[in-house]
Amino acid sequence: MPNAAEARALNEKMWQVNIAFWDATGLFVVACECGDPACSEMVELAPHAYEEARRRPNTFVVAPEHATTGVVAAHDGHCVVELPEHAEAPPPERATTLEFASHHFRALVAQLLDALPEDGREEALRLAGLRFGRQLAERACLQSHVDAVAALDAVCAAVRGLGFHAAVREIAGDTVVIETPTCPLRPLVSERLEAALLDRGMWAGLVEKGLKGAEADEIRCETASCLDAGESCLVTVRLRALERSGA
């Protein structure tokens, strides 16, 4: 289990996924940052409340029952404590599948998924994925292109710029296959298969931002090999605009 600084680093990695769920469902959950190696608690709060807590290097969000010392603020459902002995965790460098695969990551994602209502669940996952993809595109400063081939190359370059690997493997008519051994959400899909809907939405959001004039509802993404150890994920993107660009 992570200490306070490690839990903070994990929550930082989950920030954009959390924001995507917040936009779609109003749910934002972080791992308790109390520093107890045996802790596996999750804390639900609003994004602005977590943003406020993380502005200071030694303040951490914890479950109320874990706020035993250094309490800075107490709220309904969470407390903010000051732990001077912990330096703020540095931002993670290049993200890898192994970095994302942790007990707390899986528990946090499971809580996000379990909180989704059955009614409209698939659409909520798709929308959360779209928002996540759009946020990744903005973070990577992805520029839009009129030509579909250039757009898909730019999408893969943007993903690589974020520390993951992705490359166009094949283009045929209106279909493009992207190969990605370190897809950003692969650990999530490996943990919960239904998260593939979130993953497909993410790729649709990226393509929408990369291809000028594209609409997310026109983009169909399918994924394969996510659960095959040692194999790259294959993302199949189908978009009629590809034919119009002469791909």
Per-residue pLDDT of the chain (247 residues), as tens digits, is 347 877 888 788 778 778 877 876 777 888 888 877 778 788 989 989 999 888 887 899 999 999 888 899 999 889 999 887 654 444 444 344 334 335 566 667 777 777 777 888 888 888 888 888 898 899 899 999 998 889 999 999 999 998 889 999 988 878 889 999 888 888 778 777 888 888 888 999 999 999 998 887 777 777 777 777 678 888 888 876 554 444 4
Q: Which two tokens stand for residue 119?
A: 């009614």
Give the strand pairing for 78-82 and 167-172: unpaired
Domains, the chain, with CATH or none: 4-111 (no CATH), 122-244 (3.30.1380.20)
* Those residues with Cβ within 8 angstroms of residue 9's Cβ, 6 or more apart along the chain or in another chain: 2, 89, 90, 91, 92
SS3 of the chain: helix, strand, coil, percent, to 5: 45, 20, 35
What is the CB neighbour count within 10 angstroms for residue 127?
21
212 DSSP 8-state letter: T
Query: How far apart are alpha carbons 19 and 26 in whole angstroms?
Result: 9
Phi and psi at 209, nearest 5°, equal: -75, -30
Q: Which two tokens stand for residue 84?
A: 């001077």
Do 35 and 83 contact (CB within 8 A), yes or no? Answer: yes
Q: Structure pTM?
A: 0.67
H or E segment and range at residue 221: strand 220-224
What is the CB neighbour count within 10 angstroms for residue 114?
9
